[in-house]
Homo-oligomer: A and B are copies of this chain.
Amino acid sequence: MGRHELEYPKDAVNAVRRHGERAVYALKTIHGLVNTAPILHVSFNPVDSPFPVTLPMIGQMGSFARPSASLGDPLDLYLHGYVSARFFSSARAATEPMPVCVAASHVDGLVLALSPFNHSYNYRSAILFGHAALVNDDDEKRYAMRLITDGVVPDRWAHTRQPPTAAEMQSTSILRVSIVSGSAKIREGGVIDDKHDLNDQTLRDAVWTGVVPMYSAMAEPIPAPYNKISLPSYASDYLDEFSRENKEHSIAAAKK
């Protein structure tokens, strides 16, 4: 195990208030859930609307200052995705970073109980709170672009056309979120039914109860009409493992 795992300190912002026994504050767990989510939900408050806005984006945890940092270290979140000018007044973009909340959620199964009330999901969800600012430095931008591309398929960056053109650098927006706090919530295991339902033999003869594992899968890759090569192993190995590992994880979660 080595050193003690770092945790985000529990406070009014990040504390899990319901089912506290499902809460996790370890950086390693939270950052891992973010990095393995195909999509993140990022929420902002625009200056001109009463409603928060939640946008799907892709992103990865990283440290430009110390690229060798591990998942359990304090990290920034780099997000790729267009952020409308209305979120930033031009001055604020540089001088006053914007408070955001980022959610990463994995659904691992449907928990089907005897009563609707005891129905649940197996899931792993993380949220991070932080301040987002546009990345202006080209080196940091390239670092984040590589991190995010390799988050889609590991090692993809090195196997695509390099370097990005000046126009591509110019029209790519990267946000760096400096993390203030975060938490995760994990539900795993089987069904938990109430005693009075378990004692009802007629009910138990009528209602199926158990867990249906659920996971993200990849289908067979479809080459572009102009593609000229077969899928290299850096990608095929990852894609093969993706479905298998996710499936195994969802089944293991149900059996815990």
Which residues, 195 to 237 on A, are CB-close (under 8 Å) to B?
197-198, 200, 203-232, 235
The quantity of this chain's copies bound in the complex is 2
Cα distance A112–B219 in the bound complex, in angstroms: 14
Most chain-B Cβ atoms within 10 A of its Cβ — which of A38, A102, A103, A123? Answer: A103
Q: Is the pair A222, B213 in contact by a Cβ cutoff of 8 Å?
A: yes
Cα distance A168–B113 in the bound complex, in angstroms: 14
Q: Is the pair A116, B149 in contact by a Cβ cutoff of 8 Å?
A: yes
Q: Is the pair B226, A209 in contact by a Cβ cutoff of 8 Å?
A: yes
A105 and B51 in contact (CB under 8 A), knowing A191-B224, A215-B216, A251-B219? no
**Which chain B residues lie closer than 8 Å to A53 at the CB level?**
43, 101, 127
- Output the least CB separation between A32 and chain B (Å): 17
Q: Is the pair A212, B207 in contact by a Cβ cutoff of 8 Å?
A: no
**Which chain B residues lie closer than 8 Å to A58 at the CB level?**
121
A41 and B105 in contact (CB under 8 A), knowing A18-B82, A160-B207? yes
Q: Which of A1-9, A62-70, A71-79, A151-159 contacts B (4 or more CB under 8 A)?
A: A151-159
**Which chain B residues lie closer than 8 Å to A101 at the CB level?**
43, 51-54
Cα distance A239–B254 in the bound complex, in angstroms: 16
Cα distance A244–B38 in the bound complex, in angstroms: 21
Q: Is the pair B223, A103 in contact by a Cβ cutoff of 8 Å?
A: no
Interface string of A100-112 (1 = CB under 8 A from B): 1111010100101
A21 beta carbon closer than 8 Å to chain B: no
Q: Is the pair B99, A50 in contact by a Cβ cutoff of 8 Å?
A: yes
Given contacts A116-B161, A205-B229, A215-B217, list 9 more A-B pairs with CB under 8 A: A43-B53, A43-B101, A56-B105, A56-B123, A58-B121, A112-B156, A161-B200, A209-B226, A209-B227
Q: Which 7 pairs from chain A and chain B are nearest by CB?
A: A213-B219, A210-B223, A41-B41, A52-B52, A54-B103, A43-B43, A117-B168
Q: Can you report 8 residue pairs joining A to B where beta carbons are below 8 Å apart?
A: A45-B52, A58-B121, A110-B152, A161-B197, A205-B229, A208-B221, A209-B227, A213-B218
